[in-house]
Chains A and B, each alone.
Chain A
């Protein structure tokens, strides 16, 4: 691993490791809670892709906006959305971020400018162009980070949105989480040209393919991209190549990919790899990992306890928020 331009101080490395672990442990618990029928509906887990969200979020400021996908627990956690409110949402409780109206695929957090998990593939891209347009028309230098999978590249919205963002030179960081399968459809079976970064470049914006299994590589690329965007350079595209370790959702027998392929990717997984590097470089020591793991396990346990203690929204409030009386400030 070679990472120029990044401050590799001990606290930051530990922070990254903690963020990766928080997502992994959270997702592991979610799978368990799904089996126990505490969580229902569609559940898309982020194991294997943690380095993308964690790396990207390091480059963002609180006033930046994040547009997420339906596999967004990791994006939300890395953005700083409170874990207990996320878990309460998965439980469908009124203490949840969206008072039980959104669920796993629709986490929103106004305070952290987290504009929601969008469950329509490609549906978030136009929205991100719009927040960037709104910010730039109001003279703010905020950036919108827009997450989407490689499946979104199949959609017209991808092309329309990249074009519009480049045409109007808007501050959007496009983050393609390329895990090579849109549900069961392999990238090279869906795209005539599977080089996504090249497609983005054709719209006239800087575009890079990044190793999405390497949190430091993602962070370096994200910082470079955000600096360019804030400097007035218009949109920037990062294709972060990774892999989804688990099934697409909880209803997926994974008939479309060989088991060996999954195992091969797991060996170069973002957490194992980062940990080995930290150990080999004598940057973080065994007892620190142990402490980190214990703290993260406690945090997840507390989030579950919070959700368990949560209350259901009153059914009388079913139609509350269908329309609003004022724009929340």
Chain B
């Protein structure tokens, strides 16, 4: 197969899950409606028929129990992939993720590893209102012991899972709901990705736009608009939200001397706040302007389309923030 294959983000995730389960008898996937229904976002559609309901396992609506069961299965030698339908429901399993998965290796003095992968949808944009639109990956990125991934491209959707399963520590994968239908090509020469480094998705000399996940397409669109104005923006896709790749972040900002952080989380106490503070600690004297942030408005995400869109980071706001840094009034 030499020609690049075109597929959706959803299909890329599914390929990853199938490959992982076929490769390793210890790998299985469980979650709500993953088997017979085919997954809330249809990621696992058809997989149960192919791989069996032992390996693609429907659970009751008991987030705490099935996430905890995943942790226990990992302790017993399995390599579980637990799908939580959305980050919103992960709050019902917060105790297991934060108090158990993240603490056990350290608390046991290194006696027990928790090699579990927990996938969940995140983000807003589908008019699902406040209880189905949270972007709480920044909360999880606060917690030592967890690795937090945000695949924003077809390639990362396809290959991050294998790397996550190879990690002896708990890994959380956040899939933005607006990305599932995204189309793209897979380079047949690429068969693996790292889960360590951020990636420059677009090179530019004037300003660094730091983002991740569902905000990457918006940020790339903003960079195109800026380019038409003669502003060359560098777009940095974090990919890994914990631990952050400070080397790539600092190097980029040291080149461009300006930085806008785009994060669908709320601004207060956000990942964007951490990135801003971390850059100030590292490259303060490289900065020509204060770091700017484009985040969600501090409201529960509303239902009505115009209000929802008004609450979320938009390309226009990213453009305006970058322009203000590069061409201050």
State the A residues within 8 Å of B (CB).
Answer: 65, 67, 96-102, 106, 108-110, 115-116, 118, 120, 123, 125-135, 137-138, 144, 156-157, 160-161, 163-164, 167, 319-328
Contact = CB atoms under 8 A, between A and B. Distances in A.
Interface in B86-117: 95-96, 99-100, 104-113, 115
Contact of A167 (B60, B78, B95): B60
Nearest to A323: B169
B112 A129 contact: no
Contacts of A100: 109
Contact of B72 (A106, A130, A321): A130
B64 A157 contact: yes
A324 B80 CA distance: 17
A160 B62 CA distance: 6
B302 interface: no
Contact of A115 (B62, B96, B106, B112): B112
A127 B72 contact: yes
A155 B234 CA distance: 49
B169 A131 contact: no
Contacts, number: 163
Given A118-B100, A137-B54, A138-B76, A164 B65 contact: yes
A113 to B, nearest CB: 9
B146 to A, nearest CB: 9
Nearest to B106: A321
Nearest to A127: B72
Given A108-B112, A137-B54, A321 B68 contact: no
Contacts of B128: none
B77 A134 contact: yes
B76 A106 contact: no
Given A102-B108, A115-B112, A164-B66, 17 more contacts: A100-B109, A101-B106, A101-B107, A106-B108, A110-B108, A110-B112, A123-B100, A125-B65, A129-B68, A134-B72, A137-B73, A157-B65, A161-B65, A164-B65, A322-B145, A323-B169, A325-B168
A128 B70 CA distance: 10
A163 B80 CA distance: 20
A131 B107 contact: no
A315 B105 CA distance: 18
A164 B71 contact: no
Contacts of B60: 160, 163-164, 167
Contacts of A133: 69, 72-73, 76, 78
B254 interface: no
Interface residues of B, number: 42
A167 B78 CA distance: 20
Given A137-B28, A321-B105, A322-B145, A129 B113 contact: no
Nearest to B26: A138
A135 B76 contact: yes
A161 B105 contact: no
Contacts of A160: 60, 62, 64-65
A130 B74 CA distance: 8
B59 interface: yes
A119 to B, nearest CB: 8
Nearest to B68: A126
A322 B68 contact: no
A328 B113 contact: yes
B195 interface: no
B196 to A, nearest CB: 12
The 4 closest A-B pairs by CB, nearest first: A130-B72, A126-B68, A134-B76, A160-B65
Contacts of A131: 72-73, 75-76
Nearest to B116: A130
B269 interface: no
A322 B107 contact: no
B144 interface: yes
25 contacts: A65-B75, A98-B109, A108-B107, A116-B104, A123-B68, A125-B68, A126-B68, A126-B96, A127-B72, A127-B75, A127-B100, A130-B70, A130-B80, A131-B76, A132-B72, A133-B72, A133-B73, A134-B72, A134-B73, A137-B54, A138-B77, A160-B60, A320-B110, A323-B105, A323-B169
B275 interface: no
A153 to B, nearest CB: 15
A284 to B, nearest CB: 37
A323 B111 CA distance: 11
B69 A129 contact: yes
Contacts of A118: 100
Nearest to A100: B109
Contacts of A327: 113, 115, 168
Contacts of B74: 130, 134
